[in-house]
Chain A
């Protein structure tokens, strides 16, 4: 009967012997945990992001879009203003891959005529006349990435025309114009977000960190900006840009106008994050240790909110792209000769034209796909950055 009590006593003694060494063990464990946490945050985020298939697909599409935009002149078979007036309003051509039993991408040559009733131009593909598509062909000269002069294009034809997405009323290749348009459409988003980020991050972090009247002022400002619905306000502001301004200036001013409203959302989001982080131990500790505000903001706050900044920027890309295309679509945005997806879509605004030449709305699908890709990617990033989801 007594022996189980003896065993219990032995265990108690063992515990007592351990007491001394405990403290150091605990300390060691704490330290190793902390360093592990700091280094693995990004890797953890990346691991989580990778697991999300739709987010990865979104990311790949975004990357592809930007690469295409970067090498736009190379990818596009024609330049922005190449007019092939004999091929105006040409419907998208079908690309065929097998010729004479072997792999040879080609398009059919075209016989054009006029519809006797409507007097519209019609095009009849001629199966006898196969025009091979060549790769790395010579075409109109350009400077690759604005630096290296060359005249090679990814693909093209030596006679006739290759126009996979059709042409517009002046015989300009839609595909080439869409590629070139992406340079504007996609950078408006990038520049606009960067500007909003600058304003939003400064004001958001400041109002979250300092609180008090700074916070009050910023919040009132945000409220006022937000009391206007964005698109009409954007319309009114962009309508005020003088017609005689050079297009490039208009482009920059438009991105500024877009970010004048876009920053509010960013600032709100960041303020919330900063408010949450401000109370956390390590900030408190730094403060108690007498660190200056600047030190805390740049060494602790910004790094700690960095993943959120990435997420928030990605998530605000779609609205920037959308705003630019909507404005340009309405004729208040980017002005020709600069071209964006919205500018291209403007010609589809005319109902009669659209119904006759429906392929003119194809640029809209590029807007949709880029927004979708950004949404998927941003969503995946958000989930990955959130420590509380698995």
Chain B
């Protein structure tokens, strides 16, 4: 197992380098740079900047250097935790995003848990009761879940929560709690605000996982070894649990790597609509204001998250499936 892990982790390094290249390239794409965007802002508010100020700003931010140099300056600090400087916020990138990353990870993690906890039992039920009324209802709900975009769900929740249920449906804390020190009351307040965005973020994934679980279990139930297990005299429940479900779960794990990016995308939109401090809103802002290091780090962070979750999925698969482990 250990050599396998080492191999996989080392194998990530080239990918990381390529990803950082591409990220830098994409972030550089917009015509002009941060200074131009500051310039146009100043201009739109009636002011003007003379050429020397502009140049001075460029030099100060290192924007006058060749791209390769800029890339190297940016990337070389990463191993020491220096992710560059946010031009717009006038603060190290890390300070700007640290807590937001935390919330993003927390929300995504909870959404992931929600997805699994809900989808596995439903998937198992649907597969073992194929074409029953319950199965049909779940299938239909699944299609619905797949089809309602997260922004629409957030908007609906905002309207329904606020206008119909009369609870504040946005933010992470009630206004009076936002600045209070941590306490049980504040924690409960957080939970009250957290569950809806978590479900909204998890719903599409849940619908997908239910379908995958159902299909996979139906496949497995047709496998010879399930019949073998029955022919031994095992109880049906045990056959399902120990043989069928255990094998059917593999595809669920392998799509984990595909769920994470969706979760990230969702956290951007849900964060924006429901005013939750995920990295989403500042990512959008940094893209528009061309705050390139900030945008770059966030994009890179999302790609790394995807890479790591793929790795984790593979490791879990290897751990539960001997065929992969011993390859």
Chains A and B touch (C-beta atoms under 8 A apart) = yes
A-side interface residues, number (CB < 8 Å)? 42
Given A329-B269, A349-B273, verify A367-B159 contact (CB < 8 Å).
no
Interface residue ranges of B285-299 to A (CB < 8 Å): 287-288, 295, 298-299
Q: From residue A77, how far is it (CB to closest CB) to chain B in Å?
A: 25
Which of B15-23, B85-93, B224-232, B242-250 contacts its partner? B15-23
B151 engages A358 (CB within 8 Å): no
Q: Which residue of A lies closest to B28 (CB)?
A: A240
A227–B23 CA distance with the chains assembled, in angstroms: 11
Q: Which of chain A's residues have a CB closer than 8 A to the CB of B302?
A: 228-229, 232
B152 engages A227 (CB within 8 Å): no
A244–B260 CA distance with the chains assembled, in angstroms: 35
Q: Which of chain B's residues have a CB closer than 8 A to the CB of A242?
A: 30-31
A371–B295 CA distance with the chains assembled, in angstroms: 30
A200–B156 CA distance with the chains assembled, in angstroms: 36
Q: Which of chain A's residues have a CB closer than 8 A to the CB of B152?
A: 345, 361, 364-365, 367-368
- Is B162 part of the binding interface, using a Cβ–Cβ cutoff of 8 Å? yes
A156–B303 CA distance with the chains assembled, in angstroms: 51
B303 engages A325 (CB within 8 Å): no
A230–B259 CA distance with the chains assembled, in angstroms: 12
A240–B159 CA distance with the chains assembled, in angstroms: 33
Contact with A along B147-161 (1 / 0, CB 8 A): 111011001101100
B155 engages A371 (CB within 8 Å): no
A364 engages B275 (CB within 8 Å): no
Contact of B149 among A330, A348, A371 (CB under 8 A): A371
A124–B227 CA distance with the chains assembled, in angstroms: 70
A236 engages B27 (CB within 8 Å): yes
Contact of A354 among B155, B265, B288, B307 (CB under 8 A): B155
- Is B1 part of the binding interface, using a Cβ–Cβ cutoff of 8 Å? no
Q: Which of chain B's residues have a CB closer than 8 A to the CB of A195?
A: none
- Is B106 part of the binding interface, using a Cβ–Cβ cutoff of 8 Å? no
- Is B268 part of the binding interface, using a Cβ–Cβ cutoff of 8 Å? yes
A376 engages B265 (CB within 8 Å): no
A329–B268 CA distance with the chains assembled, in angstroms: 12
A330 engages B162 (CB within 8 Å): no
Q: Which of chain A's residues have a CB closer than 8 A to the CB of B163?
A: 355, 358
A376–B140 CA distance with the chains assembled, in angstroms: 10
Q: From residue B69, how far is it (CB to closest CB) to chain A in Å?
A: 21
Q: Which of chain B's residues have a CB closer than 8 A to the CB of A91?
A: none
Q: Which of chain B's residues have a CB closer than 8 A to the CB of A27?
A: none
Contact with A along B123-146 (1 / 0, CB 8 A): 000000000000000001001101
Contact of B299 among A236, A326, A331, A364 (CB under 8 A): A236
- Is A351 part of the binding interface, using a Cβ–Cβ cutoff of 8 Å? yes
A376 engages B158 (CB within 8 Å): no
B299 engages A232 (CB within 8 Å): yes
A358 engages B159 (CB within 8 Å): yes
A54–B262 CA distance with the chains assembled, in angstroms: 27
A325 engages B158 (CB within 8 Å): no
A228 engages B283 (CB within 8 Å): no
- Is A188 part of the binding interface, using a Cβ–Cβ cutoff of 8 Å? no
B287 engages A235 (CB within 8 Å): yes
A4–B142 CA distance with the chains assembled, in angstroms: 65
A235–B149 CA distance with the chains assembled, in angstroms: 17
- Is A208 part of the binding interface, using a Cβ–Cβ cutoff of 8 Å? no
Q: Which of chain B's residues have a CB closer than 8 A to the CB of A154?
A: none
Q: From residue A226, how far is it (CB to closest CB) to chain B in Å?
A: 8
Q: Which of A232, A355, A376 has the most CB of B within 10 A?
A: A232
Interface residue ranges of B163-186 to A (CB < 8 Å): 163, 170
Q: Which of chain A's residues have a CB closer than 8 A to the CB of B144?
A: 372
Q: From residue B13, how far is it (CB to closest CB) to chain A in Å?
A: 13
- Is B272 part of the binding interface, using a Cβ–Cβ cutoff of 8 Å? yes
B-side interface residues, number (CB < 8 Å)? 47
Given A235-B284, A364-B151, A364-B152, verify A228-B295 contact (CB < 8 Å).
no
B298 engages A375 (CB within 8 Å): no
A232 engages B268 (CB within 8 Å): yes
Given A227-B303, A368-B152, verify A233-B159 contact (CB < 8 Å).
no
Q: From residue A375, how far is it (CB to closest CB) to chain B in Å?
A: 6
Q: Which residue of A lies closest to B263 (CB)?
A: A229
Contact of B156 among A223, A228, A236, A361 (CB under 8 A): A361
B303 engages A326 (CB within 8 Å): no
Q: Which of chain B's residues have a CB closer than 8 A to the CB of A223?
A: 15
- Is A318 part of the binding interface, using a Cβ–Cβ cutoff of 8 Å? yes
- Is A322 part of the binding interface, using a Cβ–Cβ cutoff of 8 Å? yes
- Is A332 part of the binding interface, using a Cβ–Cβ cutoff of 8 Å? yes
- Is B251 part of the binding interface, using a Cβ–Cβ cutoff of 8 Å? no
Q: From residue A351, how far is it (CB to closest CB) to chain B in Å?
A: 6
Q: From residue A235, how far is it (CB to closest CB) to chain B in Å?
A: 6
Q: From residue B161, how far is it (CB to closest CB) to chain A in Å?
A: 10
A3–B260 CA distance with the chains assembled, in angstroms: 79
- Is B261 part of the binding interface, using a Cβ–Cβ cutoff of 8 Å? yes
Interface residue ranges of B29-76 to A (CB < 8 Å): 29-31
Q: Which residue of A lies closest to B19 (CB)?
A: A227
Given A236-B295, A361-B159, verify A375-B306 contact (CB < 8 Å).
no
- Is B320 part of the binding interface, using a Cβ–Cβ cutoff of 8 Å? no
- Is A64 part of the binding interface, using a Cβ–Cβ cutoff of 8 Å? no
Q: Which of chain A's residues have a CB closer than 8 A to the CB of B156?
A: 361, 364
Contact of B147 among A227, A235, A331, A372 (CB under 8 A): A372
Contact of B22 among A224, A326, A368 (CB under 8 A): A224
- Is A237 part of the binding interface, using a Cβ–Cβ cutoff of 8 Å? yes
A229–B104 CA distance with the chains assembled, in angstroms: 14
- Is A95 part of the binding interface, using a Cβ–Cβ cutoff of 8 Å? no
B149 engages A367 (CB within 8 Å): yes
Instruction: Kindly list the 10 A-B residue pairs having the minimum CB-CB distance in the complex, ordered from nearest.
Output: A229-B261, A231-B265, A364-B152, A240-B29, A372-B147, A239-B287, A240-B30, A371-B147, A361-B155, A358-B159
Show 8 residue pairs from A and B whose CB-CB distance is below 8 angstroms, ordered by the A residue: A224-B22, A227-B303, A229-B260, A232-B268, A325-B149, A345-B155, A354-B159, A367-B149
Contacts A224-B18, A235-B268 supplied; 16 other A-B pairs, CB < 8 Å: A224-B15, A227-B19, A228-B261, A231-B261, A232-B264, A239-B287, A240-B30, A318-B146, A326-B265, A349-B273, A351-B170, A351-B273, A354-B158, A371-B148, A372-B143, A372-B144
Identify the B interface with A (CB < 8 A). Answer: 15, 18-19, 22, 26-27, 29-31, 140, 143-144, 146-149, 151-152, 155-156, 158-159, 162-163, 170, 260-262, 264-265, 268-269, 272-273, 275, 283-284, 287-288, 295, 298-299, 302-303, 305-307
